[in-house]
Structure 1
């Protein structure tokens, strides 16, 4: 093989290797601009949720300042850090908020407990009312709010019926044929 062919093959191999590897690390302006836009959107969402992280605004501005100097990879890194911080803050805030059905379940359970206590005060608490309330509380803890509300409503109704029954039977007496002489 001639030295010319060897060099030509070596140059060809290096050129192909460079072409294959280059897209893996090269960042274009459009990628940096898209990352900055995504960071701004995540930051707006965090602001709307009231969980703004002060550092992310600085990171976004630093990323935007790097565009004229063509430091696109560094700009993408700053934008991605800003996205990560704002997304984490937003997700944390979402986890801290109670689920929509939680408040309704708590209210239904509180109403059931009040009805049970009212029935108990006049001696009319039914056998399963407290068990139903406890089960409704367990369902609410697991996140099954619809079932918790339904069970709490049944327990509330039992409390009301027990209270009414106890008041109706308060002055009731055994009939003469049941009394022992």
Structure 2
């Protein structure tokens, strides 16, 4: 057997393994459209209960707006997030109980993460994703997933702390002489 045929066999085998896996992460138009419809139904239920928020309405509008750009995965994620928040709001309006301790812990964890982010930002050490993590933690808390919100807020807090520490360590750092300054 030649090297060329061995490489071809490995390549074909790799394709046969990789192709079925692509369907596991790809979101099709129909899935995104279904998620948008479900989010609209949840929002209508929230409006009927008098607990609909403008935030979830804007998430649904954004999901619809990005459909022509074929951003089906993002549209589905936005729709599911809006649906969870509206469903949680309706459950609360109908007398559902919330673990007040977990809600308070999530609120405190998010506040601590925001404080760490601001501290890192004050010395120009804020990391790229810290703000995104805090927003996502807030969204999870709004939809009643307090455990996930706490975990994400803790991750954001740690990023803020490490960003501050990094900025302080590099405070007096200069470029080596061989690096030319741009003017």
TM-score by length of 1: 0.51
Q: Residue by residue, what CA displacement relative to the aligned partner does 1:121-180 show, whole Å, maximum 9, x if unpaired?
A: xxxxxxxxxxxxxxxxxxxxxxxxxxxxxxxxxxxxxxxxxxxxxxxxxxxxxxxxxxxx
Larger radius of gyration: 1
Q: Distance in 2 between matches of 1:16 and 1:74?
A: 27
CA separation in 1, counterparts of 2:61 and 2:13? Answer: 41
Counterpart in the other structure of 2:73: 73
User: Hey, what does 2:28 align to over in structure 1?
Assistant: 28
1:73-126 Cα offsets, whole Å, 9 max, x none, are: 0000100110011000000111169xxxxxxxxxxxxxxxxxxxxxxxxxxxxx
Residue 115 of structure 2 is matched in structure 1 by: none
User: Number of aligned pairs?
Assistant: 97
Matches within 5 A, 1:25-174: 25-95=25-95
1:18 alignment counterpart? 18
How far apart, CA to CA, are the structure 2 residues paired with 1:48 and 1:34? 21
Report how far residue 8 of structure 1 moved: 1.6
SS at the partner of 1:52?
coil
Runs of 4+ in 1 over 3 A off after TM superposition: none
| 1:68 counterpart SS class | helix
RMSD value, Cα: 1.5
When normalised by structure 2's length, the TM-score is 0.51
In structure 2, list runs of 5 or more residues that go unmatched.
98-183
The C-alpha deviation readout for 1:15-34, integer Å capped at 9, x for no partner, is: 11221210110000010000
Q: Secondary structure at the match of 1:95?
A: coil
Unaligned segments of structure 1, at least 5 residues:
98-181
Going from structure 1 to structure 2, the CA distance change for 1:96 and 1:84 (only over 3 Å counts) comes to closer
